[in-house]
């Protein structure tokens, strides 16, 4: 008998997972996702990526503002299992316990490391060389359920959040399809997480986005790629915001103050960091302007940028 699935997910990370499930032998009876939200400068009401894919395949879509209180409607679809992937809300106990095979989640870290809403960002922010995907049983505590399967993924020194996001999403889709047959056949032995080893990856706040030039150049490099292409690291100049999209590590030693512009080249400018090493900035977005290379900036309105200028507070 074909197993029936209720799938819950919202952002781009969830899309390859839903796609893989749709083309499998299982039946997706309902997709639950977040409500449409205003986006862009014009605040156009935009459906989440998962909704767009579900509509493409004529899968019923449900978009409650809050999942709590909608248990009866979701369970009316009689799912054998509920699968979540970056859904964005905590499921109530009634949903967790109702399906015969429970509720499982596709999480973008090697649990118990990086529990929370931004594991991909923090894997790079913390300079990790490796992360991965965990398929886990869901419980009422945050990402604390038993582990069903895991797969490691290496992080290259040039990976940013966008690149790592796509790697993990694909691995998550493949790993889920390896997990389900064994789960339905009762061949998996859940492994409890060691809570004492748990680390956390809370949602990115505005304070996290700001560059601290007192840090080592390697740490600031990780900071920049750990927030690219969203939400983007930034610094300030003359009380204005300057977004930093990309940079390269400069191992030369400088005598300037952290945040000081040590030199200006044709396609970059070098900023002194807390360990007296440099960071070559190559792609930026000045306040009120579009994203651009530093070369484009210097050929245009970049005449205010001068050697000796201090970035940051």
For the stretch 280-309, pLDDT in tens is 999 999 999 999 999 999 998 778 899 999
Q: Span 101-127, mean pLDDT?
A: 98
Q: Which of these CATH numbers, 3.90.550.10, 2.40.160.20, 3.10.25.10, 3.10.50.40, describes 206-304?
A: 3.10.25.10
Expressed in percent and rounded to 5, the helix, strand and coil fractions of the chain are: 25, 30, 45
Query: What's the pLDDT band for 178 if we cut at 50, 70, 90?
Result: very high
Please list, in sequence order, all residues whose beta carbon lies within 8 angstroms of the beta carbon of residue 126, skipping any fewer than 6 positions away.
222, 226
Strands (E), 37-192: 37-39, 44-46, 61-62, 81-85, 103-107, 130-137, 147-154
Please list, in sequence order, all residues whose beta carbon lies within 8 angstroms of the beta carbon of residue 91, skipping any fewer than 6 positions away.
8, 67, 82, 84, 103, 138
Domain ranges within the chain, ordered by starting residue = 4-197, 206-304
**246 has pLDDT over 90:** yes
The Cα-based distances of 42 to 6, 34, 37, 45 in angstroms read 33, 20, 12, 9
pLDDT of residue 40: 79
- Could you give the CA distance from residue 164 to residue 160 in angstroms, rounded to a whole number? 6
For the stretch 81-106, pLDDT in tens is 999 999 988 899 999 999 999 999 99
Q: Span 237-250, mean pLDDT?
A: 95
pLDDT of residue 39: 87
Q: What percent of the chain has pLDDT over 70?
A: 100
- Could you give the CA distance from residue 266 to residue 282 in angstroms, rounded to a whole number? 10
Question: Topology of domain 4-197, per CATH?
Answer: Rossmann fold (3.40.50)
pLDDT of residue 122: 98
pLDDT of residue 303: 81
Bond prior to 158 in cis (omega within 30° of 0) = no
Q: Span 121-149, mean pLDDT?
A: 97
Query: What's the pLDDT band for 269 if we cut at 50, 70, 90?
Result: very high
Q: What secondary structure does DSSP assign to 183-213, as a single string?
A: HHTT----B---GGG--B-PPP-HHHHB--T
Please list, in sequence order, all residues whose beta carbon lies within 8 angstroms of the beta carbon of residue 157, skipping any fewer than 6 positions away.
none
Please list, in sequence order, all residues whose beta carbon lies within 8 angstroms of the beta carbon of residue 189, skipping any fewer than 6 positions away.
none
């Amino acid at each position: 008998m074909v197993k029936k699935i209720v799938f819950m997910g919202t952002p781009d990370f969830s899309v390859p997972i839903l796609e893989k499930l749709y083309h499998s032998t299982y039946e997706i009876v309902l997709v639950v996702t977040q409500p449409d939200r205003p986006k862009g400068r014009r605040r156009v009401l935009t459906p989440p990526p998962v909704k767009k894919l579900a509509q493409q395949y004529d899968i019923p879509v449900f978009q409650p503002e809050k999942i709590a209180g909608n248990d009866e409607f979701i369970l009316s679809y009689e799912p054998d299992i509920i699968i979540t992937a970056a859904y964005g809300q905590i499921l109530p106990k009634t949903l967790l316990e109702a399906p015969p095979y429970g509720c499982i989640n596709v999480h973008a870290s090697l649990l118990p490391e990086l529990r929370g809403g931004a594991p991909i960002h923090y894997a790079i922010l913390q300079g990790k060389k490796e992360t991965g995907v965990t398929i886990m049983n869901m419980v009422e505590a945050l990402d604390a359920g038993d582990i069903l399967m895991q797969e490691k993924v290496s992080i290259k020194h040039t990976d940013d959040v966008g690149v790592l996001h796509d790697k993990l999403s694909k691995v998550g889709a493949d790993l889920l399809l390896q997990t389900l047959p064994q789960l339905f056949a009762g061949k998996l032995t859940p492994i409890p997480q060691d809570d004492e080893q748990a680390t956390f990856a809370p949602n990115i706040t505005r304070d996290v986005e700001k560059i601290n030039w007192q840090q080592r150049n390697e740490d600031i490099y990780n900071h920049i790629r750990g927030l690219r292409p969203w939400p983007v690291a930034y610094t300030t100049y003359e009380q204005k915001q300057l977004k930093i999209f990309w940079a390269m590590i400069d191992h030369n030693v400088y005598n300037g103050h952290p945040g000081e512009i040590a030199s200006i080249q044709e396609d970059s400018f070098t900023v002194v960091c807390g360990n007296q090493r440099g960071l070559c900035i190559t792609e930026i977005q000045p306040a009120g302007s579009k994203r651009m290379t530093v070369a484009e900036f210097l050929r245009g309105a970049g005449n205010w940028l001068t050697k000796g200028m201090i970035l940051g507070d």
